[in-house]
Amino acid sequence: MILIIIICIPIIGLCQNNSFKKEYIHNLDQSEIEIIVNKGTELPFSGKYNDFFEQGEYVCKACNHPLYKSNSKFEYKCGWPSFDDEIKGATIKIPDNSYGMERIEICCANCFGHLGHVFYGENLTNKNTRHCVNSLSLKFNSLKLNN
C-alpha cells in the first residue's frame, strides 16, 4: 500500500497542476468544450460511440492523441463507451470527489482534456477495469489492428 502511494503521488500532483492546453480549443465545438474543457458529462445513451464496435483506434477529440484500441471496448449498457484498457500512458488519473462521490477522473495525457472516469473492481471483464468515456471526448480512426 505504501509503495502504491509513493508511486501515485507524483502522478496525481502532475495532473492537478495542469489544466486543458488551450492551444487545442480551436479544434472543438461548444458541446465538446463543455465536456473536454469544463469537465462536463454528455447525456447517457446519447453519444456517437455508445453502441459503436468497429475495428480501429479512438483518439482524443481535441489533440488526436491515441487513447484506446477498439479491442479494449466492451458492451456494458451504462450509457457511455466502456473500455477495459487504454493505450499505455494515454491517460492520466485524478481523484474526483465532486457531487459527493469518490471517483477517478481520466484525462488525455497529452492535452489534459477530460475524458470521463475509470472504475475498478466491477468484475465486468478479466481486466476488472472500466473506462467510462464521453463520446464527445473521442474521435474514431478506422484501421487494422495488430494485436
Query: Which runs of E-coded beta strand occur in the chain?
Result: 56-60, 66-69, 73-74, 82-83, 91-96, 103-108, 114-120, 129-133, 138-142
Q: What is the per-residue pLDDT for 51?
A: 94
Residue spans of the chain under pLDDT 70:
1-18, 144-147
3-state secondary structure of 42: coil
pTM here is 0.84
Domains recognised in the chain with CATH numbers: 2-142 (2.170.150.20)
Task: Determine which one of 60, 107, 108, 132 is catalytic.
Answer: 132
Q: How far is CA 70 from CA 47, 75, 91, 97, 139, in A?
A: 16, 11, 16, 29, 12
| Residues whose CB falls within 8 Å of the CB of residue 38, separated by 6 or more in sequence, listed in order | 114
Side chain identity, residue 52: F
Known catalytic residue: 15?
no
How is residue 71 annotated by DSSP?
Answer: G
- Report how far apart the first and last C-alpha atoms of the chain are (Å, whole number): 33
Q: What is the per-residue pLDDT for 12?
A: 38
d(CA 102, CA 111): 24
Q: What is the per-residue pLDDT for 99?
A: 86
Q: What is the per-residue pLDDT for 14?
A: 39
Q: What is the per-residue pLDDT for 137?
A: 98
